[in-house]
Amino acid sequence: MLFTAFGLNAAWAQTSDARATEKARAKVEKIGAGTKTKIEVILRDHTKLRGRVSHVGVDDFTITNAKTGTSQTLAYTDVEKVSKGGSGLTMGTWILIAAGAGAAITVGAIFHSIRCNETGC
């Protein structure tokens, strides 16, 4: 109740919004314009946008949808979250999956061969 009476709740919300805005700006600047990297943007109204960054400005950036070719300029203050789009799995993850599958097949083949040698197949 004291927080509301002294306006501290509103001040905390403003600093939280400012942090989210700076975080979005830093992420977009790190990805950069003109790259082939796909991004996903979630706006404060929970709208999801996907595409590539075609322009990075001080107060806003432009995202272009690859399928439709339409561009949309977004203010950093309207953005809740920015993340890289794509398949969701990195190359390292796919390598680990393949190595695990290969190891499982190898172990299965070894146990099968031991069982066949002892009992005959």
Tell me, yes or no, if the pTM score tops 0.85.
no
The predicted-structure confidence for 38-88, as pLDDT tens digits, reads as follows: 889 999 999 999 999 999 988 999 999 878 989 999 999 999 999 887 656
Bigger pLDDT: 95 or 11? 95
Bigger pLDDT: 79 or 20? 79
Bigger pLDDT: 45 or 31? 45
Which of 41, 26, 54 lies closest to 84, judged by CA? Answer: 41
pLDDT score recorded for residue 44: 92
